[in-house]
Amino acid sequence: MIRKKICLLGAFSVGKTSLVQRLVHSIFSERYQTTVGVRIEKKTLMLDGNDVSLVIWDLQGEDEFQKLRESYLRGSSGALLVADGTRPHTVDIAILLRDRLRDVCGNVPAELLINKADLTDEWAVDPRAVAALDGADSEPIVTSAKTGAGVEGAFESLARRILGGGA
């Protein structure tokens, strides 16, 4: 079976852990429990008839209290860069983190996720504007760990790109 390490990167409280919990255990909790260090989970996805086993590194949020250790990124085949759609500056952090990912891992696939899509009232990020500003190769994926919308798709899309199967 093909096994790949992927990382979740992003500012604190954007929903990295929640996305993994949604994908792996199909659960969601409103309660915030910040991740210290790294949390590792595994999930097997069926992609076009093949099993792909993802080793998911859910990394601690980036802020002034905790900095990303670049050595954590080593050996990553790809990453999900997560931002919070209600906190625009988290998009900037996600983009900065992508540069650091590229420094360590080269040009591995990375999907930009804008999470918390269910919070329409507080939504403050325009995905199209982000795509334009970012000049990325793909549009950001809007997700909600709470409703599950877009979550599996985001991981699958990353897995496909890792396997070279196109977008």
Partner 1 sequence: MGALPGFLEEYAMSIAVRRRSPAYVLLGPDARVVEAGGELARYGLRDLAVGDDVTARADFLAGMLPASDETIELPALTVGEGQHADVHIGVADGTTFVLLFDATARVMRQSALQQKGNDLDLLRGRTVRAAGPLPADHLVDAANVNLRRVAVVRVHLILVGEDEDEPVLDSTRVVETRRAQRLVREELRRQAGLTLETGAAEACAAFGLLSTTGVPERQAIDAARAVLAIVGLIPGVAACIGVASGAVAASEPTSDAVPIVIGPPFDHALRLALLVGPGCVLADDETVTHTQGLERDFVGWTGSQTGPGPLFVRRGNPPRHGELAGVLSALGVVLLEVRQDGILFPTGVVPDWADALLEWEGRASGGLRPADELSFLANFLVDAAEFWDRGEVGFQRSGIWTELDEGGENQAFEALALVGSGGERLLALDFLSEAYTERQELLQQARETRLSFEALQAEIQKKDVLLHCIVHDLKAPLSSIVGALSLLNTRELAPDKVASLLEIGLRQAQRQEDLIRQVLDVFAAEIRELESFESDPRRAPDLSQCLRDAVDSYRPAYQDADVELTLDATEGEMRVVGVADRLERAIANLLENALRYSPAGTRTEVAVENEDGHVRVTISDRGPGVDPEVAEKLFDRFVRGSAGGSSGLGLYYCRITLRSWGGSVGYEPRPGGGSVFWLRLVRAL
Ligand X SMILES: Nc1nc2c(ncn2[C@@H]2O[C@H](COP(=O)(O)OP(=O)(O)OP(=O)(O)O)[C@@H](O)[C@H]2O)c(=O)[nH]1
Token pair, residue 6, equals 């992927």
**Considering the rule CB under 6 A, would residue 85 count as an interface residue with ligand X?**
no
Q: How far apart are the first and last CA of the chain?
A: 21
Find out whether 137 and 94 touch, Cβ atoms under 8 Å. Answer: no
**Considering the rule CB under 5 A, would residue 66 count as an interface residue with Mg ion?**
no
35, 55, 118, 127: which one contacts Mg ion (CB under 5 A)? Answer: 35
**Considering the rule CB under 5 A, would residue 17 count as an interface residue with Mg ion?**
yes
**Considering the rule CB under 8 A, would residue 131 count as an interface residue with partner 1?**
no
Phi, psi of 113 (to 5 degrees): -110, 135
If DSSP codes are grouped into helix, strand and coil, which group holds residue 34? coil
Q: Which is nearer to partner 1, 33 or 166 (CB)?
A: 33
114, 146, 154, 155: which one contacts ligand X (CB under 6 A)? Answer: 146
Give DSSP secondary structure letters for 75-122.
T-SEEEEEEETT-THHHHHHHHHHHHHHHHH-S--EEEEEE-TT-GGG
Phi-psi region of 97 (alpha: psi -120 to 50; beta: other; left: phi over 0): alpha
**Considering the rule CB under 8 A, would residue 74 count as an interface residue with partner 1?**
yes
Residues in the site for ligand X, rule: CB under 6 A? 10, 12-18, 29-35, 60-61, 115-116, 118-119, 144-146
Residues in the site for partner 1, rule: CB under 8 A? 3, 5, 12-13, 32-41, 55, 57, 61, 63-66, 69, 71-72, 74-75, 87, 121, 124, 126
Residues in the site for Mg ion, rule: CB under 5 A? 16-17, 35
